[in-house]
């Protein structure tokens, strides 16, 4: 209780299974006394493209646009666009980041990838030699909660699902110094019975009840590829 949670949510339809998972998380965490903020990316029409528009005013080097350099410089002088500053404020205040989305192509949807690309800029999320355990977003937890199109059996045939978590959990969160909780995966909600779907929703609700007692995973290559 008293904890702050940011849910970054990437589904177009409130009536979807992802929408239900979001609703449950907001309800359960609020009930616990947490303060919950939702970034509903499609509803916000969040911009996923990393462009010159993310920098207010003059560029550091207008001769050759370098997104990483420009956003780093803009961050330092307080010159990032308003939508990014707002998201960074939410991240800064949060104890826990939950990413709720349907898996698209072994990965997060582009709109959520755009959130990562644009919000987690150098200076804010990491810096020169400040990465991984030295990343700038220390003392925060993250949790990737997603649905799949394919069944658990289909995924298992082609290599462990943990393989696809590496770029998201390790490459992004761990890099920024954010600790990672076990992912929450709902396999193929569109292909199972209504009863099974209800069980999945209950399981998410149950997990959230004891979430704050969970230990982060050991975000090493061994966890993913053992």
- Interacting residue ranges for a copy of itself, rule: CB under 8 A: 12-13, 15-16, 42, 45, 48-52, 63-68, 104-111, 113-114, 116-118, 120, 132, 149, 158-159, 163-164, 166-168, 170-172, 175, 190, 221, 224-225
Nearer to a copy of itself, 1 or 218 (CB): 218
User: Is residue 105 packed enough to be buried (19+ CB in 10 Å), middle (13-18) or exposed (0-12)?
Assistant: exposed
User: C-beta of 63: minimal distance to a copy of itself in Å?
Assistant: 7
Nearer to a copy of itself, 166 or 212 (CB): 166
Nearer to a copy of itself, 30 or 61 (CB): 61
Range list of β-strands (E), 12-140: 35-40, 96-102
Q: Which pair of tokens denotes residue 88?
A: 């960074």
Look-up of token digits 């050759």: 64
User: C-beta of 1: minimal distance to a copy of itself in Å?
Assistant: 33
Cross-strand pairs, 96: 5, 141
Q: In 3-state terms, what secondary structure has residue 8?
A: strand
User: C-beta of 170: minimal distance to a copy of itself in Å?
Assistant: 7
DSSP 189: G
Cross-strand pairs, 130: 127
User: CB 115: neighbour CB atoms within 10 A?
Assistant: 24
User: C-beta of 15: minimal distance to a copy of itself in Å?
Assistant: 4
User: C-beta of 220: minimal distance to a copy of itself in Å?
Assistant: 8
Nearer to a copy of itself, 34 or 88 (CB): 88
């Amino acid at each position: 209780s008293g904890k702050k949670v940011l849910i970054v949510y990437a589904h177009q339809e409130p009536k979807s299974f992802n929408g239900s998972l979001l609703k449950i998380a907001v309800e359960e965490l609020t009930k616990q006394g947490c303060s919950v903020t939702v970034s509903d990316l499609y509803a916000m029409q969040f911009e996923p493209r990393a462009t010159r528009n993310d920098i207010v005013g003059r560029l550091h080097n207008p001769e050759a646009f370098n997104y990483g350099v420009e956003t780093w410089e803009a961050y330092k002088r307080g010159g990032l666009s308003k939508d990014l500053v707002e998201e960074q404020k939410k991240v800064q205040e949060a104890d826990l980041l939950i990413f709720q989305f349907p898996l698209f192509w072994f990965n997060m949807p582009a709109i959520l990838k755009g959130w990562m690309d644009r919000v987690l800029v150098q200076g804010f999320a990491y810096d020169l030699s400040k990465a991984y355990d030295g990343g700038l977003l220390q003392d925060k937890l993250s949790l990737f909660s997603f649905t799949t199109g394919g069944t658990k059996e289909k995924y298992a045939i082609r290599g462990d699902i943990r393989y696809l978590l590496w770029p998201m959990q390790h490459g992004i969160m761990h890099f920024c110094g954010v600790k990672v909780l076990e992912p929450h995966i709902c396999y193929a909600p569109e292909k199972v019975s209504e009863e099974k779907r209800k069980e999945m929703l209950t399981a998410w609700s149950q997990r959230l009840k004891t979430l704050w007692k969970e230990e982060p995973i050991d975000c090493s290559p061994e966890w993913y590829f053992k």
